[in-house]
Amino acid sequence: MALAVLSAACGSGEVSSPPPTFDVPETVVLGRLPEPFSDRTPISAPPTTPPASVAPTTEPPPENVAGAIADSVVGYRVLMIGDTLIASAAPRNDGNMCDVLGDFGWTVEIAAEPGRFIEFGHEVLDERLTPSDGEPWDVAAVMFGNHFDGDIDAFVRQLEDMLRRLSPRPTIVYTLSALNDDAVAINEVIRQLSRSFASVVVVDWAAATEAEPDDLLDDGGPQLTQEGAALLVLYTATALGKTPGGERGEVGECLPSVFFDDSAIVL
């Protein structure tokens, strides 16, 4: 099955169209993790010529994230932040996100709880953006919007503030299963993040679940079937790629999280 998997986001500036979407090779099946892509063509930066009313600058544009994130960083610690779907991938909920990413050489903390709105992301950053062990986060991953109060403007402000706090580290942002008009509106926002945040990599979860909703979504979603959970892990691993340590067979660590309240009611 050919599945649209991720969009590497371009740098700041005006662009006429969103960046291209990469496809998982036909040989990829659920439960089998792909090697990092080696045949991607780097994405060109958008035009950087300023408008006539703005004085030119000699500062270079932000570097784009192109290809596997492992190729763009020198450290391999990931902070994953989110709501129900990311929480379901945590070890305490029998998820294997940490195990798989660890096999790829990443050290991972999953700070996610079910039923949480986007404001929860800032609670996580207040607590964990500067880790107590002093080791910085090299990459972040964010999924919010599965629980939404209907205020799209407030959601956008919260998301953009979160990405500014995480910048300039590469940050994965997932689109949502397009189950309703709110999710469609949120996805439109997420797919435009490349215009403002050079470090964002968009994983197009909406495209995957639209292609196979019955197999990937439990009772219509947004919760995942076992196959859906496996595919979410696969997409994340593909976006991150293997670290040099992972290539040598070294295994990363799954870090404990201070965010583990799974008591919220999820409808």
53 inside domain: no
- What CATH number should be reported for the domain holding residue 250? 3.40.50.1110
> Helices 181-191 and 152-166 sit at what angle, rounded to 10 degrees?
40
225 inside domain: yes
Q: Which of 123, 149, 138 is nearest to 172 (CA)?
A: 138
Q: Which of 95, 106, 182 is nearest to 145 (CA)?
A: 182
77 inside domain: yes
- The runs of H, that is alpha helices, within the chain are 84-88, 97-103, 119-128, 152-166, 181-191, 205-211, 213-216, 226-240, 244-247
pLDDT of residue 63: 59
Range of the domain at 72: 62-255
- Contact indicator for 37, 43 with CB cutoff of 8 Å: no
pLDDT of residue 202: 94
Taking only the tens of pLDDT, the chain with its 267 residues reads: 434 444 444 444 443 333 333 333 332 233 333 343 333 222 222 222 222 333 333 444 455 566 899 999 999 999 999 999 999 999 999 999 999 999 999 999 999 999 999 999 999 999 999 988 889 999 999 999 999 999 999 999 999 999 999 999 999 999 999 999 999 999 999 999 978 899 999 999 999 999 999 999 998 889 999 999 999 999 999 999 999 999 999 999 999 999 988 887 655
Pairwise CA distance, residues 84 & 131, whole Å: 23
114 inside domain: yes
pLDDT of residue 194: 79
Pairwise CA distance, residues 179 & 209, whole Å: 10
3 inside domain: no
Pairwise CA distance, residues 158 & 68, whole Å: 27
pLDDT of residue 73: 96
Structural domain count, the chain: 1
93 inside domain: yes
pLDDT of residue 93: 92
189 inside domain: yes
Query: What's the per-residue H, E or C state across 76-94?
Result: CEEEEEECHHHHHCCHHHC
Task: Tell me the pairing of strands 200-203 and 254-255.
Answer: unpaired
51 inside domain: no
